[in-house]
Amino acid sequence: MPAGFGPSCTPNVVGTVADSTLVEYSFIPGARKETQFWRDRIMTQQLSLFPNSPLDKLNRLPDEKFAALEVALSPVDEVFTASTRLRNSRNFIELLDFIARFPNYSAFNGLLLYMQDPSATYVATARTWAKKFTRHLGQNARPLVILAPMAPIRFVFDIRDTEGSPIPSDWLKSVEIGNQLSAKVYSNTLQNCSLQGVAVCETTLDPDVKGTTDRLTPALRKQFKDLNIQKDTSYVIHLNKTHCLEDKYTFLAHELGHIFCGHLGIDRYAWWPEREDLNINGEEIEAGCVAYLVCRRKGLRACAEKYLANYVGTNQEIPAFSLNAVLQAVSYVEEMGRHPWKEPRKRRRN
């Protein structure tokens, strides 16, 4: 049993990658409360499978600093905080753009792919390469590990590691760069906001104001009484009704980033932690990264760059923030736009 894993977790070896053993953990009855803890530990082990990764600097930290990081941060933030390379704005934007190139995979999986192969351009499973593209894996094909629903991992391969029939370039476009957003994505997001305790109001704002978000208090409820806000609403987002659809969606993603990253506290629906002690720079970077990734993964590049304009093309150190919080918020905002819900997709944290 690996060091640090308790008796309620039984490891089963299922394969190897890069000379590191992959382990599938099954939990005995009664250990349900430990699931999230073990999932984080497994994620940490999966990240450590890639010793040559540009993010892997944890083993160079002093023991006392590593221990402090492990207690305070998620596995993603442990790695991100330890990487001076990614705290450089140019390299960080490169990471975000890489994640944006793979909208068919979760933002978390985009990060995992970057850690293993920053040069990857289009990835798929061996089965997909064979059935959809009539291509097979090369002799020295290198598997890339991503997380999979209802399973510990999945192996994918970059197009460079495949051989076979030529592929039309337009088949490999993962993101269509354009300036238009599906109205359905916007309407679905608005509807699902109401289920999440977030009221979205389109109104007339000053030209320089992109959008605002407030945590509702009794005084604000009186101020906004004409909006007929539902009783169980905790937050209200104001968008400028004169803006185009794409701009409104961009600003909505930014404001939802503030909420889902915990900048405005928690409510009865909150699946995110309370993080009101962040400084304004950290909050704006996190919300800006959420808007940047959500829009870039929708092909709205011009909209995306509005929020990180100060960092694009520069060489400066980015203030500390939680990349894990950003990626979770991105995944949730994207899910909100796919189809209408009957209830929130995530439950309140215990």
- Condensed to tens digits (0 to 9), the pLDDT of residues 213-240 reads 999 888 888 888 787 788 889 999 999 9
H or E element, residue 331:
helix 323-336
> What confidence tier does 34 reach under pLDDT thresholds 50, 70, 90?
very low
Phi, psi of 116 (to 5 degrees): -90, -35
Q: 56-96, pLDDT tens digit by residue?
A: 444 444 544 444 444 456 888 888 888 888 888 999 999 99
What pLDDT score does 350 carry?
A: 54
What pLDDT score does 218 carry?
A: 85
Q: How far is the first Cα of the chain from the last one, in angstroms, to the nearest whole number?
A: 29
CA 258 centroid distance within chain: 14
> CA–CA separation, 52 vs 45, rounded Å?
14
H or E element, residue 106:
none
> CA–CA separation, 42 vs 126, rounded Å?
24
Q: 260-273, pLDDT tens digit by residue?
A: 999 999 998 899 98
CA 82 centroid distance within chain: 19
Q: What is the DSSP string of 123-163?
A: EE-HHHHHHHH-EEE-TT---EEEEETTEEEEEEEEGGGEE
> CA–CA separation, 286 vs 192, rounded Å?
22
pLDDT average, residue stretch 230-251: 91
Q: In the numeric block, which tokens belong to residue 342? A: 């009957």
